[in-house]
Amino acid sequence: MLFALICKDRAGRLQVRLDTRPEHVAFLEGLNGEKKLAFAGPFLDTDGKPNGSLVVVEAPDLAAAEALSAADPYAKAGLFESVEIRQWNWTFNKPAAA
């Protein structure tokens, strides 16, 4: 099953995001290597600066998706104000390999 992790950054935490980014990227690369990552990227504010994240992961159930979300270095660093996890169905423009 696919789950969308919709993450909103806490206000004024851009430096936390920047400082933690290398660990976050390594975490996502690990998920990708385990075939658990569908896609990911930041939400941007009106100035083009990141202010949240969208991460879509493959997990057997909601509990496993929650565990993946909690393991993200951004979450561990306290970057997120909120994280909404929703089961998601990739219907259109899905790559053949996904």
Predicted structure pTM score: 0.92
Give 25-64 pLDDT, tens digit per residue.
999 999 999 999 999 999 999 999 999 999 999 999 999 9
Give 79-98 pLDDT, tens digit per residue.
999 999 999 999 998 887 55
For residues 51 and 43, the answer to whether their CB atoms sit within 8 Å is yes
Strands (E), the chain: 2-9, 37-44, 50-58, 80-88
CA distance 20 to 53: 13
Phi, psi (rounded to 5 degrees) for 28: -65, -40
Beta pairing, strands 37-44 & 50-58: antiparallel
Name all domains of the chain by residue range, CATH numbers in brackets: 2-88 (3.30.70.1060)
Section 58-74 average pLDDT: 98
